[in-house]
Amino acid sequence: MYYSPFILCACIWHTKAHKLWKMNNLKQQTMEWISVKDRLPKTNKKFGDSDYLLCYTEFGEQVVCWYKKDLGWIVANFKADSSPLRHKVTHWMPLPNPPSNE
Phi, psi of 81 (to 5 degrees): -65, 145
| pLDDT digit string, tens, across residues 82-101 | 566 678 999 999 998 888 88
User: In which domain, by residue range, is 15 found?
Assistant: 1-30
Q: Does 73 lie in the same domain as 23? A: no
Domains held by the chain: number:
2
Q: Does 56 lie in the same domain as 45? A: yes
Domain membership of residue 23 (yes or no) is yes
Q: Does 73 lie in the same domain as 43? A: yes
Q: What is the pTM of this model?
A: 0.62
| pLDDT digit string, tens, across residues 26-74 | 545 567 999 999 999 999 989 899 999 999 999 898 999 999 998 889 8
Q: Is the pLDDT of residue 8 over 80?
A: no
Q: Does 80 lie in the same domain as 66? A: yes
